[in-house]
Amino acid sequence: MRRPWNSALLVAIGIIAAGLTNGTASAAGRTAAAGKIDWRACGPASAAAECGRLTVPLDWARPGGTTTEVYVARVPAKDQANKLGSLVFTPGGPGGAGGSIFEAGFADQLFPQLRDRYDLVSFDPRGTGSSSQLNCGPVLRPGVPVFPKNQAEYDAMVASSRATGEQCLKQHGELMRNLDTRTAARDMDAIRAALGETRLNFVGLSYGSYLGTTYAQLFPRRVGRMVLDGIVDHAQGSTRFMLSEAKAMEDGFNRFAAWCAKDNTCALHGQDVGAVYDRLVRKADKTPLQVAGHPPVNGDTIRLALPILLPKTELVGDPWPSLADAIALGAEGDGSGFAGISYVGDLETAYAAVSCMDLPGELKGYADAKARLAKAKRVAPRVGAAVEGWAITAACAGWPIPPSNPWRRTPVKDAAPILITSTSDDPSTPVDSAFGLARQIRGSRLLVAKAYGHTAYFNSACARAAITSYLLEGKLPPKYSTC
């Protein structure tokens, strides 16, 4: 979810990617003022990108109050005379800095077939990238328990979460209270208005699917051609969200091990991959691996690298060789393959800040945490709770700001038909979430690609073709289809 891919694409550019108070009804009736973006050339000349900043209210409930800025990047259509308008892209998150991705020149790699007919647009959500940035240090701090085995470890996890959240409040004040997905959706509507578009054409991957769903709920009649891929279903609740992912990640690990058995380029070829991994995490639990210039890599750091390195994204890169290399190095006492590639120690505070508002862990104490961890082990004996759903739960365990939009259904009606896509075997956002969301969006179409990996667009040629056909020609597949 947070990282819809982990590949050279993101490494190269340094990106690893109050609900009731503001009110759905009032927000849906409120039109964003058409602000102005002063575009300037940005990034390498080959990117053909233009960048600018859009001023928006810090709190959309107080549109005349304090403001903040959202960084926006645009790659103009090659065929301006016949373009279909603007297409806004969100790569995931929370906190996927899409504007920075486009500025770095990757629009052509991601959407080559759409470059003629659309102005491709993306943005760095508030709190991230080149927008008003949140930087309060890691939420899951190295050395602090993530999978507590007793009350004392649970208390330490909660205290660490609370300390980071309180430090962020001191540093960033009201920005911290205005980072939720509904706020981001209103920012996106302001971008639509600034672009001069009457409707929003949109592609949202992973967490971006929830951002798009939220936009469609708030502004249904402003929805143009919308694709939601790699689905986050906000109706799941924190426990089901975690368990569904754990089961899928266990399958992903087994697929990874099978690949190593067949492919002699795998650094673990000829070995029992599961046994090597298990020995590594046990060893790192007892004696963390030392890495120059980086906190020691313990077992939890290694475990929480799995949700980054197991999901495939074939269009932009395959992380499995890197995972195999990291495990092989770790078995030799070198933890560098996991340094900086784990939820433990991750510096992107905005990811946690948004997640705690919209996807809170809802822990009720150590007994609740113990029970959830045990359930995860039952459905995923090796991976257990080493998944993003638990990383969010741990990060939010003591968060000082209450959730503004906790888990609930996100029904959408009166919008143009929305295309929902997923792979049949998505380890990060399992396909059952796509079925669940399709039941909440009236008139939606669901396409499931028979493939393994996170998002259909990145892992299935037939899904890319169907998505492209819809965006360019308006052709939708049947209500439910596979390819």
Task: Find all residues with CB under 8 Å of 322, minimum gap 6, and list them.
Answer: 6, 309, 337, 341
For the packed helices 273-286 and 238-262, what is the interaxial angle rounded to 10 degrees?
Answer: 120
Query: Does residue 317 have a pLDDT over 60?
Result: yes
Query: Does residue 291 have a pLDDT over 70?
Result: yes
The pLDDT of residue 16 is 30
**Rounded alpha-carbon distances, angstroms, from residue 199 to 254, 353, 383, 412, 455:** 43, 29, 43, 16, 24
Query: Is the distance from CB of 228 to CB of 214 less than 8 angstroms?
Result: no
Binning pLDDT at 50, 70 and 90, where does residue 95 land?
Answer: confident
What is the C-alpha to C-alpha distance for residues 254 and 269, in angstroms, rounded to an integer?
Answer: 14
Query: Does residue 23 have a pLDDT over 50?
Result: no
Task: Find all residues with CB under 8 Å of 67, minimum gap 6, and list them.
Answer: 55, 56, 57, 58
- Percent of the chain at pLDDT > 90 equals 86
Query: Is the distance from CB of 207 to CB of 358 less than 8 angstroms?
Result: no
The pLDDT of residue 2 is 54
Binning pLDDT at 50, 70 and 90, where does residue 35 land?
Answer: confident
Give the chain's radius of gyration (CA, Å): 21
**Rounded alpha-carbon distances, angstroms, from residue 73 to 14, 68, 199, 382, 481:** 17, 17, 18, 42, 34
Return the CATH number of 8-133+179-235+408-482, one of 3.30.9.10, 3.40.50.1820, 3.40.50.300, 3.40.50.1100: 3.40.50.1820
pLDDT single digits (tens) 234-258: 999 999 999 999 999 999 999 999 9
**Rounded alpha-carbon distances, angstroms, from residue 414 to 28, 187, 221, 417:** 12, 21, 6, 9
- φ, ψ of residue 412 in degrees (nearest 5): -130, 130
* Distance, C-alpha 377 to centroid of its chain: 24
Tell me the residue type at 46.
S
Q: What is the dihedral of CA 6, 12, 13, 16, to 10 degrees?
A: 20
Tokens of 423: 């792979």
- Rounded mean pLDDT, 308-334: 95
Comparing CA positions, the residue from 263, 260, 335 lying closest to residue 298 is: 335
Binning pLDDT at 50, 70 and 90, where does residue 34 land?
Answer: low
What is the C-alpha to C-alpha distance for residues 16 and 341, in angstroms, rounded to an integer?
Answer: 8
What is the C-alpha to C-alpha distance for residues 351 and 226, in angstroms, rounded to an integer?
Answer: 24
Exposed, middle or buried, 397 (CB in 10 Å: 0-12/13-18/19+)? Answer: buried
* Distance, C-alpha 58 to centroid of its chain: 23
Residue labelled with tokens 């919209």: 358
Indicate the domain borders of the chain: 8-133+179-235+408-482, 151-173+236-395
Tell me the residue type at 398.
G
The pLDDT of residue 347 is 82
In sequence order, the β-bridge partners of residue 441 are 412
**Rounded alpha-carbon distances, angstroms, from residue 389 to 19, 63, 71, 74:** 21, 34, 28, 32
Query: Is the distance from CB of 357 to CB of 392 less than 8 angstroms?
Result: no
Comparing CA positions, the residue from 395, 5, 431 lying closest to residue 245 is: 431
The pLDDT of residue 169 is 94
